[in-house]
Amino acid sequence: MTDVVTPTPTPASGPARAAAGGSGGRRLGRAVPYLGVVPFLGYVTLFLLWPTYIVVTGAFQDDAGAPTTRNVAAVLSGGEYVDAFVRSILLSVATALAGAVLGALLAWAVAEGRPDGLLHRVVIAAAGVLAQFGGVMLAFAFLATFGFNGVVTLFLADRLGVDLLAGGSWLYGLTGLVVVYTYFQIPLMLIVFLPAINGLRPQWQEASAGLGGTGRAYWRYVGGPILAPSFAGATLLLFANAFSAYATAAALVSQGSPIVPLQIRSALTSEVLLGQANVGKALALGMIIVIALVMTAYALLQRRTARWLR
């Protein structure tokens, strides 16, 4: 109440202003609460913003630190880099769509049950583990299933005479990545989309039925349009998740670098070619741009969905 900074001194606030040391002191007093967030801001600056700054500026520097566009040019013109971006994007789009459709279906099936029930708890816990925790371990799960000595491979070979690896070891290449990524996109979709499905009030279904609408009419005119922004947003999130995934690919693919995260791995770990030191940073910058675009679209969609699902 006495916090307003007035340009001319007034008698009522005279003593308070004198105590605070004049108008400069009052302005300082207003800044004091902001000091409370300084530790947090300092930490985030040091370990998040500064590395990002290093990546963004390093992409435009050569080995000696002088400004250059050679790294960015190498990424944009170099066949293998552009191919890697294309493959990363295709992989992410394919697994995002597959995961979105299958995950939405699973979310619908789970949402029908009791929110406190055992099934719900098991599914949420399992989805959390498979979606976020997996990485390297899921790669080994799939090696145990479809690898050279995998359970399914041997089963198909012994019982049905089908050689799963006839066309080459697909599991260790892009096809394998599609299969494994879809596997963890489905639980992620479940986690992200389940609140949206739970937000569909049963009264809407009843109202639609009461007005003579069939199940299909409900989904087409009521449920679908309400869920559409959430569904699109969740799909974008799945895209970003697949695009930035590294651990699974690193564990499965040991030769070659078909996707961008693996290109970054080889830029960081292999012998540095002359003049190529900062190509990894240029690749990382490219990734930031793609993901930033996707997350912006996601944020815009989130604002739209919040209207209906309060």
Partner 1 sequence: MTGRRLLRVAVLVVTGVYLLLPLVAMLDFSTQAGGGRRSLEAWRDIGSSRDLLGAISVSLQLAVLTVLGTLVLLVPTVVWVHLRVPRMRRTVEFLCLLPLTIPAIVLVVGLAPIYAWVSYLLGNSPLTLTFAFVVLALPFAYRAIDAGLGAIDIVTLAEAARSLGSSWTGVLLRIVVPNIRGAIMSAAVITVALVLGEFTISSLLNYNTLQVVINLLGKRNAELSVAVSLAALVFAFVLLFVLAGVGSRRDRSRPSAIEKGIAG
Residues 261-300 that bind partner 1 (CB under 8 A): 261, 264-265, 268-269, 280-281, 284, 287-288, 291-292, 295
Give the nearest distance from C-beta 55 to partner 1 in angstroms: 4
Q: Give the x/- contact pattern for partner 1 in 151-190, rule: CB under 8 A.
A: xx------------------------------x--xx---
Compare residues 226 and 237 and give the one whose CB is closer to partner 1: 237
Residue keyed to tokens 């990894």: 280
Give the C-alpha distances (Å, rounded to integers) separating 138 from 143, 145, 146, 182.
8, 10, 12, 11
Q: Which residues pair with 67 in a beta bridge?
A: 61
Residue 125 near partner 1 by CB under 8 A: yes
Of 196, 188, 279, the residue nearest 240 (C-alpha)? 188
Q: Give the x/- contact pattern for partner 1 in 104-123, rule: CB under 8 A.
A: -xx-xxx-x--xx---xxx-
Compute the distance between CA of residue 237 and CA of residue 131 in angstroms, rounded to an integer. Answer: 12
Binding test (CB under 8 A) with partner 1, winner from 23, 68, 145, 302: 145
Binding test (CB under 8 A) with partner 1, winner from 74, 165, 251, 309: 251
Residue 191 near partner 1 by CB under 8 A: no
Give the nearest distance from C-beta 11 to partner 1 in angstroms: 29
Binding test (CB under 8 A) with partner 1, winner from 15, 33, 168, 202: 33
Residue 134 near partner 1 by CB under 8 A: yes
Compare residues 12 and 112 and give the one whose CB is closer to partner 1: 112
Cβ-in-10-Å burial (0-12, 13-18, 19+) of 32 comes to exposed
Give the nearest distance from C-beta 86 to partner 1 in angstroms: 18
72-80, 128-136, 197-205, 226-234 -> range binding partner 1 (CB under 8 A): 128-136
Residue 207 near partner 1 by CB under 8 A: no
Binding test (CB under 8 A) with partner 1, winner from 74, 89, 101, 102: 102
Of 244, 242, 240, 227, the residue nearest 193 (C-alpha)? 227
**Contact indicator for 285, 55 with CB cutoff of 8 Å:** yes
Compute the distance between CA of residue 32 and CA of residue 17 in angstroms, rounded to an integer. Answer: 16
- Tell me phi and psi for residue 165, to 5 degrees: -105, 20
Compute the distance between CA of residue 293 and CA of residue 287 in angstroms, rounded to an integer. Answer: 10
Residue 223 near partner 1 by CB under 8 A: no
Chain residues 36-75 in contact with partner 1, contact rule CB under 8 A:
36-37, 39-41, 43-44, 46-48, 50-55, 58
End-to-end Cα spacing for the chain: 34
Of 287, 238, 295, 242, the residue nearest 264 (C-alpha)? 287
